[in-house]
Every structure is written in structure tokens, then in C-alpha cells.
Structure 1
Amino acid sequence: MPKPYRVRTNDLRLPFLRPSTTTAETPQIRLEREGRDEIRRITSAVEKVPWSVNLLQILWTAGPVTLLGAWGGYLLGYGKAPTAENYVFFISYTVITGAAGIIANLVYNLTGGRRAEKTAGKIERVIKSLPELLLVTRNLIVESLEGDARRREAAAMLLRKQDLSPEGVELAAIELLDDRDSARILAQIDIYRRVGLHARIRDLIALYGETFEPQFAELAELAPNATALLRERFEGQAPNLRRGVTRDDNFIERILAAIGQNDELLMTLQDVEEMLILAFELISGRKIPMLTFEYKGRWRLARAFDSLEEARARHRIAQATGLSRLKALTAYLAEQSGTLVEDAAAGLRAEVLLERSQQAMDALAEQTQHLAQAVAAGQSDRRGALRRKADLLSNAIRLYKAAYSAYEQVGRSHAQLLKMSQRWEAISTDLSDESTSLRLGPGRRGLRIREHVIALDDAAKAEVCKHLAKHLATGTSEERHLQHHQQLERDSLLTVGVDAAKRLAIEIALALEPHIQLSRPEVQRAINSSNAADFGQIEPNLSAAAKAALGAAMVKEIDVDLSRTAESLALALVRHYRVELDPAAKAFLIDQYAAREATLNMLSNYLASHSRGDTRNVSYLSQRPPAVGAPPRDWYRALVQARRALN
């Protein structure tokens, strides 16, 4: 019996089959090409051919055409061909302008072309560096913490990754819950999620729900945001690229405050992380929508409107500033060794932050007093420890006083807001007409919602990249060490890296300010209310072109959700401006911005239950501020004792 014929794949290669390596390389090649196109487009926005070169090129191309046109025109006008003198004139004109065009092109290629290459190099450097610096900053955040706080923060960072493997979910759960059995269950749920077996996920939730709930409740007191991420994994959900990542509230305000007051302690490493993400988003083409409303019409109403808007902005800033200062204080204490504050976990209420900070500062003052007494008694070997504790307490008191002043300002701004609201109420009641209701459709007069977009055009992207590239190239040795953080010990990394990272965030804010006006309150609100893109898939070893392509793709994945912003505007219109939401206005907000109908109906009912004649003072505080008292005298006494012992 003859043996069956077997095809040897090594001998027979079909022409339409490609090697597997080519197929694997195709996505990478496509990323590189798209990224290079993106960088080239940004570069061309600022490094264009000068107008003089374009003009001379036009003259060069127009020379022969002019010669033919002159010959034809001369023939039609005079009925004969041009004379030899005319030919000499037009030929000389063509040669001279053509030579000038060639020389201009040559000069441009020698000067402007190199300038374009330098600009492209700066853009590539920034695009390549920002994701790497983002990872360095996240490592600094974990490095600055101690004990269990390090584990919780690292686990939260893992859970934010959209492509985290089941083993990664299990590791994060072990770090957070310290329970391998529960961690194994979460890994099983993640495996079922990946293959779409939600029926089995529901089985596991029903079976182990009572086991996990006490663990979640205990963890929520320490790390609320990490608890929410872990709960989502238990429910079979993973971070969504379209939904993005929630930003840390008021990070822009803290960075601008650090710039304005020349005090880097007012900002945190989490703020640095958020600013790096924002910069890479905008350079990658992110467009953040912004909704505002304005009034144009009678000057008395317009003046009252502007005054009320200014009062509302100041009040919101005051409320945000108080919490920002408490976060900065808690973060500072958490970054220092030997304090009672382990971490400044995101999501904690202001009252919790205040309580932890006060307890830590009480203990710090007591430690400082004991060290001062020991040094005064002759124990000179403890002078270094006393100096460190005294410096730490002094900085903490400065941050606490900033929080105290900020919350004092909340009361004053609230009183001013009430006053301006009553003024608008009185004027709008006297001059009530169609202009004081929400206007829809075409037109400019009246009370209208305006849509804006926060984005960088290609020229602005290039300018921002050039600014940041200059900072990265001419930065101090500390900032260069930040990019080679693996070579540094922990103490050196914290001493060098934190300052360098904060300076980088400040430079980013300064680079973005001329283009998107970060200092404007409405811009900060729009950015805070939008979710950040998830850049977790960008790895350090990728090229600048690949990072540019991935960044552009990821920012396009973010869904635009203006529902909450529209509802906030509707709330302001109803509560502050006493504007009635008629059916047309509600339909517009629902259709255009996906606002919830139930929320709008509730606002309409609120206005109906409060007549225009009701002028009672209504509190506009979004939440009751914590009772931040003046710094206790014991803290100052500890500093005085320390200075006396050290002198």
C-alpha cells in the first residue's frame, strides 16, 4: 500500500502566506507610521516655508508662463511676434527670478530645514519623555509612603490598569485585603469576565458577597478609592478606556497656588501625576468640552449677572482651596518619616484629613519638645533629629495656617454670594422679561448656554513641546537624575526626585497657560469634571512615534459626557438666577447634553415651591466645611523650645 503523500511546509511555500513575524510586526509598523505622521504635522504647523521662499518659487514657475503670455499678448496686440529686445527682457527676467528662487530654497534647506529637524526632535523628546516621567512620578508616590500605605497605593495603581491580568488582580487583592482566599476568588471572577461568563460571576457574588462586604467596609476607612476599584473587580467590571480615569479634584488650583506663593509644599505628587497626564492628553489631541452661560442685554441686568458670576466663582474657589490645603498638609505629613499619617489616600473626607493631621501634629510637637529637652540637657547627638523634627513641624504649621485661612475665606465668600444673589433677584424681578429666561436657538442676546473646547492646535502643541524640551534639556542635575531614578537610593530619590517632579509640573502649567488659560476657574472646572485618558498601555520601551500614535488613539476613545455639567448649569440657573426651566429648555438639555429628566424635573419643582417674592437667605454651601481652628499654642511652644535648644 503506498504511503500517503505529505506536504513538507519547509519545501512548499505558498505565495499568499506571509511569515508570522511580518504579521506580528504589522501593528507596530502601523503605530510607527501614524506616530511619525502626527509628529510631522505638529512640526509643520510652526516650521513652514517662509513667505519669501513661496513668493520666489511662484515667480520661478510663473516665469515661463509669463514668457508665453507676453509672446501671445504681443502677437494679439501688435499683430506680430515680439522683437529680439523683448525676448531678451523676458528671458532675463525668467532666469533671474528662477535663480533667486533656487538660491532661496538652498538657503532655507540649510537653515530652516535644520530648524524644522530640531523642532521635530524636541517634539519627539517630549512625547517620549512624558509617559516615562509619569511612571517615575507614580513610583515616587509609592516610594514616599511607608508600611501598609505603600502596599495600598501600589495595589490601587495596579487596579487602574485596563489590561491587568488575573494574576495582577490577585496580587492587588492580596496587598489590599491580606487574604489569599479572597484574592483567589477575585482572580477567578476576572477570568470569567474576560470570556464573558457573567452567569458564573453572579454565582460567585451571591456565594461570597457576605464574606467580602465586611472586608470592603474595613478597607474603605483607609483607602476609599482603592476600595471602589476592588469592588468593581468583584462585580466583574474593569476600567473602561471610553470612561477614562477620574481626575484628582482641584489639582490645577494647588499647582497654581504653589506658583503664586512660591511654595512647592502646597502641591502633591498626585498633582504632578495629573499634570503630566493632562499635558500628554492635550499634546495627543484631547479636546475637553466646556459649558458656560452668559447674558447680553440690559446693562443693569448684565452688570448684576457679572457680579453674581464673579461671586459664584470666588465661592467655588474658596471651597476648593480649603480642601486642597488639607490634602497638601496630609500628603506632606505622609511623605515624612516618623509621623502618624501613613498616607493621604484619595477620596477621604475633609473631616478625616483634618483629624489625622491634627493628631500627627500634636504627636510631632510632643516629640519636638522631648528632643529639645534632651538637647538642652546636654545630649548633643540628638541635635540633628531635633532640627529635622522642628523643620517638619514648622512646614506643617505653615500648611495648616494656609488651610485655616482658606476655610475662613469660605465664610466671607459665602456672605458675598448671598448678597449678589439677592441683588440679582431684585433687579431681575423689576426687569423680568424674555431676556431673563434661558434662550434657545440662534441669536446672541439674553441668557444663553455657550459651548467651548479646551484643546491645543498644532502650533500650540509645538510651542508647548519646545518649552518643555528646553526645560528637560537645561534642567538641573536633580531633574536629569529624575529620568534615571533606578540608579538612586531611596533617600536620594525622595530628596532629588520630589523637588524635580514638582518643578516639572510647574513648567507644564506655565507652558499651557498661554494657550488654554489654566488660571480661569471655568477652565479648571471643565478639566476637573472630565475623565482623564488611560495611558496604562504605553510602555517605556516604545519609540516616540509609537507613543504619539497610542496617545492619539487613546484620547479618541474617551466618551464626551456633558450630562453632569449640564445639570450643574441647570442647578445654577434655578437656584442662583431664579430662571424657570420650561419644557423647551428641559428638552434641549436632555437632547443636547443627555441631562437626566428626573433631575431637571426636581429643579423645576424646587423653583415652583419658592416664589420670586421669597427672599430668605439660602445657604449655597455644597457641604459643611470642617471646623479648622487656629493653630494650637502648643505647636508654637514646641518650635520655640527647639530654637532655644539649637542656639
Structure 2
Amino acid sequence: MSPADGCRLPRLMLMKATVLVPIPFRRRGKDTSHETSQVRLEREGRDEIDRITRAVEKVPWSVSLLQILWTAGPVTLLGAWGGYLLGYGRAPTADNYIFFISYTVITGATGIIANLVHQFTGARHAEKTTAKIERVIKALPDLLLTTRDLIVESLEGDARRREAAAMLLRKQDLSPEGVELAALELLDDRDSARIISQIDIYRRVGLHARIRDMIALYGETLEPQFQELAALAPEATDLLRARFTGQAPALQHGVSRDDNFIERVLAAIEQDDELLMTLQDVEEMLILAFELISGRQIPMLTFEYKGRWKLAQAFDALEQARARHRIAQATGLSRLKALMAYLAEQSGTLVEDSASGLRAEVLVERSRNAMDALAEQIQHLAKAVRSGQSQHRRALDHKAELLANAVRLHKQVSEAYEQVGRHHAQLLKMVERWERISHAQDSDGARLQLSPGRRGLRIREHVIELDDEAKAKVCKRLVKHLGSSEFDQHRRTTLGIERERRLSIGGGVSKRLAVEIALALEPHTHLSRPAVQRAINSTNAADFGQLEPNLSAAAKAAMGAAMVKEIEVDLSRPAEQLALALVRHYHVELEPEAIDFLVQHYGAREATLTMLSNYHASHAGTDTPNISYLSQRPPMVGKPHRDWYRALVKARRALGLKGGERR
């Protein structure tokens, strides 16, 4: 071996030693990204909860006053000495010093004692408040998932599959396997489901060219399936068609709300009738509560007039008539949805699901057909019970109660749509009065227009939100209901009981929780005001699909705050609707300055506003007739069928109940 080789030997041995280190002893880099993000969520959520707690658990005024006195004690002593010297020309006597020193010491000692007492008692109050806030923040997402499970469980057969699939498709982070499962549940075709899942895979990597290829290749095959599904589940069809075209829900856009859900909850409170509320309304109230607690700010646009009192009076009267008319239109459809939801939640009816998205005429026809079939079943059961087949008594009693509730809801639907006609007639009268007064003002040169000054029409912006103190108060009220014996009993007894009883107990407890949420939010958000309801309905809800039950309260608080911040504020549609109302109802001319203002500040479409500005020019020189302001023609609901009442009478007689006796 040469010297050169000898020189190389240590280096080679060192290299071999490095290579031959056993694998288990190698130091590996630990992936801490997930743990770091989890810790960050916990920290941010904890800061959010602490901030809400501090907003409500403030230092009492008495403690603050005593602390001020303690701080001012020495200053008071010096001031007393100086004042005595200036007033009497000599220093205070020993008795005066004893008085002032005793005053300072006693005041300071009292302040210290009060501060110590507050530290012991106040900290305990703060801990209790924090625990209440944490419990509500942790419970609301879990209750949201429980309510969705109740919604699915209340349905039967294919309706259950369609509703579950729609819930999957609303998830923003749904995997391609989840998309395939949802498509399979809706279309019952594995090949079509696989195609849609493949498109979702291409969407995730941004290969839109391949998506267009697959749409062109399979569009003619899937479109008939979409059209067939649309007759049963329009909303689920739209979600599935969006997936087929390579679109998925975005956090920025949120999820659409169920129309007029607040009105149904408030109607259930006012009339003390939980049947007027659906489980979907419970879901929407839970989402709204968690949104507001998480810091959601919902914008609201309104307009007002300040100027001549006669014109202002007519303006207010017309605005009130418009509000009552809109409420009446919303109430009719809300009652109809409540009837369909009630029939869908019951077993043995022809209604499988409430089929959100269908026209009112279709809902009326389906509900009446279901009630006709139910009345026929009751008559057959009553005949069997009268013939001595007592085993059918329980089924007859259940069917009769179901039909009685459905008839009561049907009467409310009919009355609600009758109110639409009356409010529409009143609206036309107010429009005539407004036109008469506004034309008189125009002839005097006082043309009504949007004005930046103190007089005239002005657009006002409001925000629906909860400040930290309101959040704490809402949580304190809700935690009382969450800790009630009824709620605890519901959570303990849902397992191991039959489906009908589980739905009855779960639905009742959930609806009472929605009522409690509405009552807790009302003092801070004024949900009963029509303008507030319209503003909430016009915005999309935050997507809380990523919240999981096993997350801590701090993590849920942080994720909730992050999700509500992702929602884009879009005021273009409210601004355009506001401009339409001003032009159509109040004959306001949209000046170029007003159009520029609406476009720049609210993102309204300039083409739409320009078209509205030409409204008066197209009607110049003509008398505007009384036209219908109905957004849609009310369906022909009619009165309850006599066969329904006959079936109920036969059921009472078969069960041995008197006419006025209640089961």
C-alpha cells in the first residue's frame, strides 16, 4: 500500500462510517406544521374569548372610585397643607395633621381592601364568564351538526339520500371521493358519478382544459339526468351541475340562506306554535348565532327622506305599506314551507322532502295530494277500528293527529295569502297618494332626488353585529338553556329509543333552542325589524363546514373568526334593489352623480342603473297606471277540503272522543 493510499484510508473509513450508521439512529426532521397551526388556532381563539370576557367583566365603579381616592390621598394631604397655609397664614396644627393623615390612611386602606376583594371575587366571575363563553362556542357547531343529522333522519327513502348528498356538495373542502359519493346518491349511476369526481380532480390542479374536454364529451349524457333530478331536488341539482362544470363552493361566497327563516322563527314565538318552524330554520339560526359571536358584520342599506313634512309623511306611509306588503308575501311562502316540512318529517305521507327551490304552485299541489291520501287512510283505519280491529287504534290516533296539524297549517297558509291581496290593495292606495303629492311638489320645483345635503333622499349604511359585551350577554343567556335539565335529558336519551320518539324529542328541543337564540339576539340586533331580516336574507352565511366536533372551544373560536372574515361584502345587489325602489315607487330620477356614487361605493352595475335612469324618459307624457306590485302571482290555495274534516270526525267517533275533546 502506497503512502498515498495510506493517506486516503482514513477518509474512506470516515465515509463508510458515515454511510453505515443504522437507520433507526438517524436524526429525522419532525413535521410540526400541523401542531404549529393547531397551537396558533388555540392561541388566537383563547385571545378572542379573553377579549369578550374583558368586555363584560369590567372593574366596578366603586373599586375604581376607591382607587382614585387612594391615589389622590397624598395629593389631598399636600393640598390641605398648602390651602391651610394660604388661608390661615400658618402651618396646620398637630390636630389638623392627625386628621388629614388619618383620612389618607383610612381611604387608602379601604381602597386596598376593596381591590383585594375584587381580585378574589372578580377573577372568579371572569373565570365563570369565560367558561360560559367557551361552552357556547364549543356547543353551537356541534349542535349544528346534530341538527343536520336530525334533518336527514326526518326524511325517508330517496329523499334522505338526496338531502345527505346536498349537504356533502355544500362542503368547500369535499374530497373527490366525497363528490363521487354525493353524485352516486343523487344520480344512482356509477359511471356518471366517476366522471364528476374526475372533473373535480382536474379542478383541484387547475386543468380547466381537460374539464372542458370532459364537459363536451359527457355533457349530452349527463344533462338528461340533471333535468330528471331537477324535478325532485332543484337545489341539489344546481350543486351537482356546478361540480360537473368544475366549480366548487368558495369560502368567500359562503352558502345561501333559507329565505325568511327569521320570520318563521318569530311567528312560532308569537303564535306559540313550533310547527311554524322547520328544522332548516333551526340550522339557520344556529349558523347566524355562531356568525355573530364570531364577529360577523352584516351590512344593511336603507334610505330616508328629510324635507317638506307633507312629502315626508307620504314617503313614510308608502314605505310602511311596502314593508307590510313584502312581509305578507314572505309570510305566505313561509307558511307553505312549514306545511311541506311538517308533512315531510312525518312517516307515511306522500311528501318525501320539502323540496326547497320548487315553485309555490307545485308545493301546494303536493301538500294537498298528501293530505287527500292521509284523509283516505284515516277513513279506512276508522272503519277497521269500528269493526273491532283494535290493533289499528294507535295508527288511527297518530294519523288523525297528523292530519289535524296539517289542516291547521293549511288554514294558516290560506289566511297568509289572503293577507297578500289586502296589503297589495293598501299599497296601491299609498302609491296613488304619493304620486299625487309628489307631482304637486314637482310642479312647485321641488323635484325629489338623491342629495348629499341635510335635506332630500339619503342612503344610510348600517351594520348588524354584536360588540364584545353583547356577545358575552348572548352567551350567558344561551348557556342557561344549554345547561337546562331538558337539554341534558335530550342528549342522554337520544340513543336507544325509537326513531319517531327521537325525532319528536330532538326536534322539540332544537326548535326551543332556536327560539332562545332569537330572543337572545333580539335586544342587540333587532331581528323583528323587516329591514334587518331583508339584510340578513340578502347575504350568504359563512361556511362552517370545516369545524369538527373534536376541536376545542379556542380552536372553534379562531376558525369561526377566520371564516367570517373570508366572506366578501357585496352590496351591489342591495344597492340596485334600492335604486329600483326609488325609481319605480318614488319617481326619483337617477342623476349621473347618483349613478357614479352607487357604482363606486357599492359596486352596482352601471348598465342596470343607466337603464333605470331612462325609466322616466320612457314614461314621459303618460299617466302611470296602477300596476301590480306582486313579485309573483300567489298560488290558489283555497279552503281546506271537506273530506279532511270528515276523516277527522270519523276518527274521533272511532276512537270514542267527543267533538270538542282533545287528544
Shorter-chain TM-score category? over 0.9
The answer for the alignment partner of 1:549 in structure 2 is 558
Q: Distance in 1 between matches of 2:24 and 2:87?
A: 78
CA shift in 2, pair 1:611/1:376, >3 Å: farther
Deviation at 1:481, TM superposition (A): 1.6
Deviation at 1:641, TM superposition (A): 1.2
Q: Distance in 2 between matches of 1:524 and 1:20?
A: 47
Q: Is 1:493–2:505 an aligned residue pair?
A: no
Within the candidate set 186, 202, 206, 1:192 is matched to: 202
Q: Is the 8 A contact 1:326 1:354 kept in 2?
A: yes
Describe the superposition over 1:365-412 as per-residue Cα deviations: whole angstroms up to 9, x where unpaired: 111111111112222221111111111111111111111111111111
TM superposition score normalised by structure 2? 0.92
Deviation at 1:607, TM superposition (A): 2.6
Which structure has the larger Rg over C-alpha atoms? 2
Return the letter of the residue paired with 2:601.
Answer: Q
Q: Distance in 2 between matches of 1:472 and 1:366?
A: 42
Q: Distance in 2 between matches of 1:434 and 1:207?
A: 64
The answer for the alignment partner of 1:133 in structure 2 is 143
Within the candidate set 438, 452, 465, 1:455 is matched to: 465
The answer for unaligned runs of 5 or more in structure 1 is none
Describe the superposition over 1:524-544 as per-residue Cα deviations: whole angstroms up to 9, x where unpaired: 000000100001111111111
Within the candidate set 375, 379, 396, 2:385 is matched to: 375
Describe the superposition over 1:177-224 as per-residue Cα deviations: whole angstroms up to 9, x where unpaired: 111111111111111111111111111111111111111111111111
3-state DSSP of counterpart to 1:112 = helix
CA shift in 2, pair 1:518/1:535, >3 Å: same
The answer for the alignment partner of 2:3 in structure 1 is none
Within the candidate set 199, 213, 230, 1:220 is matched to: 230
Query: Residues 124-523 of structure 1 correspond to what in structure 2 (within 5 A)?
Result: 124-432=134-442, 436-441=447-452, 443-476=453-486, 480-482=489-491, 485=494, 488-523=497-532
TM superposition score normalised by structure 1? 0.94
Describe the superposition over 1:111-138 as per-residue Cα deviations: whole angstroms up to 9, x where unpaired: 3332222122111111111110000000
Q: Distance in 1 between matches of 2:490 and 2:406?
A: 28
Deviates more, 1:336-345 or 1:57-66: 57-66
The answer for the alignment partner of 1:39 in structure 2 is 49
Q: Is the 8 A contact 1:472 1:480 kept in 2?
A: no
Deviation at 1:66, TM superposition (A): 4.8
3-state DSSP of counterpart to 2:461 = strand
Return the letter of the residue paired with 1:191.
Answer: I
Deviation at 1:230, TM superposition (A): 0.7
Q: Is the 8 A contact 1:281 1:551 kept in 2?
A: yes
Deviation at 1:24, TM superposition (A): 2.7
The answer for the alignment partner of 1:616 in structure 2 is 625
3-state DSSP of counterpart to 2:39 = helix
Q: Is 1:635–2:647 an aligned residue pair?
A: no
CA shift in 2, pair 1:375/1:597, >3 Å: same
Q: Is the 8 A contact 1:334 1:341 kept in 2?
A: yes
CA shift in 2, pair 1:612/1:476, >3 Å: farther
Within the candidate set 4, 18, 21, 1:6 is matched to: 18
Deviation at 1:303, TM superposition (A): 1.1
Query: Residues 41-120 of structure 1 correspond to what in structure 2 (within 5 A)?
Result: 41-66=51-76, 88-120=98-130
3-state DSSP of counterpart to 1:111 = helix
CA shift in 2, pair 1:584/1:618, >3 Å: same
3-state DSSP of counterpart to 2:483 = helix
Return the letter of the residue paired with 1:551.
Answer: G
Give the percent of matched residue pairs that are identical in Structure 1 and Structure 2.
75
Q: Distance in 2 between matches of 1:26 and 1:83?
A: 68
Deviation at 1:109, TM superposition (A): 2.6
CA shift in 2, pair 1:438/1:18, >3 Å: farther
The answer for the alignment partner of 1:122 in structure 2 is 132
Deviation at 1:79, TM superposition (A): 10
Root-mean-square deviation (CA), in Å? 2.3
3-state DSSP of counterpart to 2:614 = helix
The answer for the alignment partner of 2:541 in structure 1 is 532
Deviation at 1:480, TM superposition (A): 3.9
Q: Distance in 1 between matches of 2:146 and 2:260?
A: 22
Deviates more, 1:526-535 or 1:482-491: 482-491
Q: Is the 8 A contact 1:133 1:483 kept in 2?
A: no
Return the letter of the residue paired with 2:558.
Answer: A
Q: Distance in 2 between matches of 1:162 and 1:584?
A: 40
CA shift in 2, pair 1:612/1:637, >3 Å: farther
3-state DSSP of counterpart to 2:586 = coil
Aligned residue pairs, count: 641
